[in-house]
Structure 1
Amino acid sequence: MEEAVLVGDVGGTNARFAAAYRRGDWIRIEQFERFAGEAFPDFNAALKTYLDMTGLRPAAACIAVAGPVRGGKAQLTNRDWSISEADVSERFGIANVLVVNDFVAMARSVPELEPEAFSVVLPGTPVPDAPILVAGPGTGFGVSTLIPSAGGWAVLAGEGGHMAYAPRTDLERELASLLARDHGYVSNELVASGSGLEEVHAAFCEIFGRPYAGMAPEDMRAKAYDGDEMYLALIRVRAMAVMGAVGDLALANGALGGVVLAGGVSERIAGFLKTPEARERFAARGPMSGFLAECPVRLLHAPAAPLIGAAAYFAQLRQG
């Protein structure tokens, strides 16, 4: 990857762009810029701003997007933007354009990152050459599975964040009932991600008999840390939703190579993901509880990870 590859990480909140270069064993990210999605009417306007700012004229691009990708086209799940490989290529004169799911890129970044990019959530011993689950909540709830292969790394993409939420306590069942009443289907994304926080907050206010008023996530966390019963319960429930979901996914995919938690929400509630209660929620699976007992869980701390992963994924495809 001697020449720059334009890489992008486009989510429900922000659009990030950079130029990626292979420097020895590592992919380097340069000319990084982040834009608020709400500042632009569509994806092409954001990309044009980036290219005009940097003067970059790439021959290749790999754009990771928070939504399903089919036939070279993607519709963001949590923003009314669509992206097309053919359209980007034609409008911006980029000969080789690839659009991938953002958690495909997130997963593919894991082998490219140094150990310092991770911290331990739950200790354990990974099984060599076993799949690695990469998942977690940000604006949405992304899921991909990294699979060792002869050609490098294969990535199994999916929409696992939209699996049904599985409550286990009386409080969680009451929450799920209220969410179902108001929204129909209740997914892990609705309970655990940023896009569902307002709905979960409103349901908790109803459960605890409090008037609902909009509140920033950081203010909710501050109240929890100050000992407010409702907000402490709210964050615990969201953390248990994360650990329950990734436990289900690791069980389904045989991801004994470990779990990597990603996404901004995972980082902000990290302390709640490391408790004995969280370990029990992750591993307790009835007769199969022993299956995940030694499966390690790590937290990814690398804002540029999807950009690095997009570059690595693109380079591997080109080499193949």
Structure 2
Amino acid sequence: MTQASNHDINLPFPILIGDIGGTNARFALLIDAFAEPRPFPPVKTADFANIDEALQRCILDTTSVQPRSAILALAGPIEGDEVPLTNCPWVVRPREMIANLGFQDVLLVNDFEAQALAIASLPDGDREQIGPGVERPAASRAVLGPGTGLGVAGLVYARHSWIPVPGEGGHVDVGPRSERDYEIWPFLERIEGRVAGEELLSGRGIMNIYRAVSAADGADAPLSTPAEVTAQALAQDDRAAIETLSLFSTYLGRVAGDMAMIFMARGGVYLAGGISQKILPALRGPEFRAAFEDKAPHRALLGAIPTYVVTHPVAALVGLAAFARMPDRFGVATEGRHWKR
């Protein structure tokens, strides 16, 4: 059982593709390079002690066509033979998968690397543009998505290939700017003293903002889940929830604008994940785009960069399928991330 070279990326079909987040794992089977991915029912990570158990019970025991390879997108950095997920207790061990589950090849990528692969060729029907800006077809792009955590990745075009740039941009520091920010910032929950992007722009981030808004106003915070807060906000039924969603949109715009400048993303900045889709009515409002463009002295630059919400329900799987079919189209680094029997 060996690590494969960076150039050996034509994996044998059938290929199992998977997008594994902190809360949900989604899988599909790609029979060959011409077939459409065959999806499996979503898996709740909390329902299984480890990924091998989930794969055996939910995938391998339910299909007569057994995959020979697996390409798995993980929410966390990939280093070594044991890869823990950032917001989930699962630890992915490719060598054990090959030994125990029958795979010949296992390739691991970052979950937002998979999102970046998807936005390389996402059609207009699977995205909604928010605000002005014109896409430059071969220009760099960025994707970020609030969910269980905050994922961020870049996408650059070079040497006739789309090259995803994974990272941990969701953990950058975020600071207060407005008077209202300074009022609520003392009440925000932190990690070792830091307010990182993920502490604001995630499911728990919604609750963090909501509780801080309520505490700053000396009010109770009766809502207990992100879904309740966003539903009350979109229905205009709760003042603190309404402000929470407004601030969430503002902070998301600020971080998205930062990523646009880091990657010089003239090809667009894409908002992925379930939360972005659920709060789309709020993102259509003025807060997100105003914060995105408020980057003096580069307001004009940001004003020309388009922003989109990815509306495809499983965009990461689309990206993984595109890579599985035509790996030469993408500059995916596989060194240290590809295991072979």
- Quickly say closer, same or farther: Cα 1:48–1:166, change in 2 above 3 A: same
1:232 deviates by 0.6
Say yes or no: does 1:238 pair with 2:248: yes
Say yes or no: does 1:178 pair with 2:157: no
Percent of residue pairs bearing the same amino acid type: 32
User: TM-score, normalization: structure 2?
Assistant: 0.86
Distance 1:94 1:305 in 2: 24
1:268-319 superposed Cα distances (whole Å, 9 cap, x missing partner): 2222222233222001111111111111111111122111212333444478
Corresponding letter in the other structure for 1:207: A
Partner of 1:115: 124
Say yes or no: does 1:252 pair with 2:262: yes
Distance 1:47 1:314 in 2: 19
- Which residues in structure 2 correspond to 1:100-139 (within 5 Å)? 100-139=109-148
Question: Paired residue for 1:292, among 302, 306, 318?
Answer: 302
Question: Paired residue for 2:226, among 217, 234, 237?
Answer: 217
- Which residues in structure 2 correspond to 1:1-320 (within 5 Å)? 3-21=13-31, 24=34, 28-49=36-57, 50-71=59-80, 73-179=82-188, 184-224=193-233, 225-317=235-327
Are 1:124 and 1:297, in contact at CA under 8 Å, matched by a contact in 2? yes
Are 1:67 and 1:77, in contact at CA under 8 Å, matched by a contact in 2? yes
Query: 3-state DSSP class of the match of 1:18?
Result: strand
Are 1:28 and 1:308, in contact at CA under 8 Å, matched by a contact in 2? no
1:70 deviates by 1.6
User: TM-score, normalization: structure 1?
Assistant: 0.91
- Quickly say closer, same or farther: Cα 1:73–1:108, change in 2 above 3 A: farther
Corresponding letter in the other structure for 1:179: L
Are 1:9 and 1:17, in contact at CA under 8 Å, matched by a contact in 2? yes
Are 2:132 and 2:303, in contact at CA under 8 Å, matched by a contact in 1? no
Distance 1:129 1:180 in 2: 40
Distance 2:185 2:322 in 1: 39
1:56 deviates by 3.6
- Quickly say closer, same or farther: Cα 1:73–1:307, change in 2 above 3 A: farther
Distance 2:82 2:284 in 1: 38
Distance 1:251 1:112 in 2: 22
Are 2:246 and 2:287, in contact at CA under 8 Å, matched by a contact in 1? no
Distance 1:102 1:181 in 2: 24
1:131 deviates by 0.4
Distance 1:55 1:168 in 2: 56
- Quickly say closer, same or farther: Cα 1:75–1:214, change in 2 above 3 A: farther
Corresponding letter in the other structure for 2:148: T
C-alpha RMSD of matched pairs (Å): 2.2
Distance 2:72 2:125 in 1: 25
Q: Which runs of 5+ in 2 are unaligned?
A: 1-10, 332-341
Query: 3-state DSSP class of the match of 1:55?
Result: coil
Distance 2:14 2:88 in 1: 28
Once structures 1 and 2 are overlaid, which stretch shifts more, 119-128 or 7-16?
A: 119-128
Are 1:108 and 1:309, in contact at CA under 8 Å, matched by a contact in 2? yes
Corresponding letter in the other structure for 1:95: Q
Once structures 1 and 2 are overlaid, which stretch shifts more, 289-298 or 307-316?
A: 307-316
Once structures 1 and 2 are overlaid, which stretch shifts more, 217-226 or 300-309?
A: 217-226
Once structures 1 and 2 are overlaid, which stretch shifts more, 210-219 or 184-193?
A: 210-219
Corresponding letter in the other structure for 1:117: D
1:227 deviates by 4.1
Higher helix share goes to which structure? 1
Q: Would you identify which runs of 4 or more consecutive aligned residues in structure 1 move more than 6 Å?
A: none
- Quickly say closer, same or farther: Cα 1:274–1:31, change in 2 above 3 A: closer
Once structures 1 and 2 are overlaid, which stretch shifts more, 209-218 or 10-19?
A: 209-218
Distance 1:179 1:140 in 2: 16
Distance 1:5 1:251 in 2: 36
Distance 1:69 1:315 in 2: 23
